[in-house]
Amino acid sequence: MHGLGQDERHRLFERFGQQHRSGQIIYTEGSDAQHCYLIHSGRVRLTKKVGGTEHGLLIVRGGGLFGEEALLPNTKRNASAMALSDVQLLALDRATLLSLFYARFEVALRFMEQLIIRIRLIEEQLENAWLQDPPLRVLNTLIHAASASEGKSLVNLSPMELASRAGIDVDMVKRTVLQLREAGYLRIAGEEIEIEDLQSLQELFELLCSKHSLRDALGGHG
């Protein structure tokens, strides 16, 4: 955990550490929210059932936070969490986390940063829900990811992570990314996507949005 020394992290893991194997359920939607989780290593997938169908919400990586609803007293989980790989976690109850905040300001600050990141991701997912065309959702997600990477051209997102954030299936994500690569907008190296020119990608997104708006308007008069 950022803001803590090696000895402090070791003591926390001795007391609050958990390990989960890939595929293991960490908690289920509707269960009591007793712990907030900080990922030391590995990846966790958050899902939610809507109309009887399970939908991927988010994939959280090492250094990330999930289960933050446990900060509220007597609340339930609003999603399920599953280990996407072998993971090491800190599982902190509300009282422990609050006492840690009081003792170490930098830990509270790091926690707030993680919450702001989560809010931005939710806003991104809302934008994607309003976009009817799947390639537009991929473009929007890539633009958000690149904009949040402090000016770097590399975006480290797996196809499953892109699919969860865009709200579409993995095959559609792969097809769209390959089309963007063939058109020269990006390069692919494993799970890293190098965006050649973010401004060009934004211009493409705006152009496609305009075309869809025009098509919908013309269709409405047909």
Please list, in sequence order, all residues whose beta carbon lies within 8 angstroms of the beta carbon of residue 161, skipping any fewer than 6 positions away.
59
Question: Domain ranges in the chain?
Answer: 6-113, 131-220
In angstroms, what CA-CA distances link 150 with 59, 107, 125, 142, 177?
20, 22, 20, 14, 22
**Strand, helix or coil for residue 23:** coil
- The CATH number that domain 6-113 falls under is 2.60.120.10
CATH architecture of 131-220: Orthogonal Bundle (1.10)
Beta bridge partners of 188: 193
CA neighbor of 42 nearest in space, from 17, 79, 75, 77? 17
* pLDDT computed for residue 123 by the predictor: 87
Report pTM: 0.73
* pLDDT computed for residue 28 by the predictor: 95
Going from the first residue of the chain to its last (222 residues), give the mean pLDDT of each consecutive group of 10, the final group possibly shorter: 63 88 95 92 90 82 88 91 93 88 82 84 86 90 82 76 88 92 86 84 88 61 46
Spatial distance between the Cα atoms of 94 and 71, rounded to a whole number of angstroms: 5
In angstroms, what CA-CA distances link 75 with 55, 65, 102, 117, 165?
22, 17, 23, 22, 25
Spatial distance between the Cα atoms of 204 and 138, rounded to a whole number of angstroms: 12
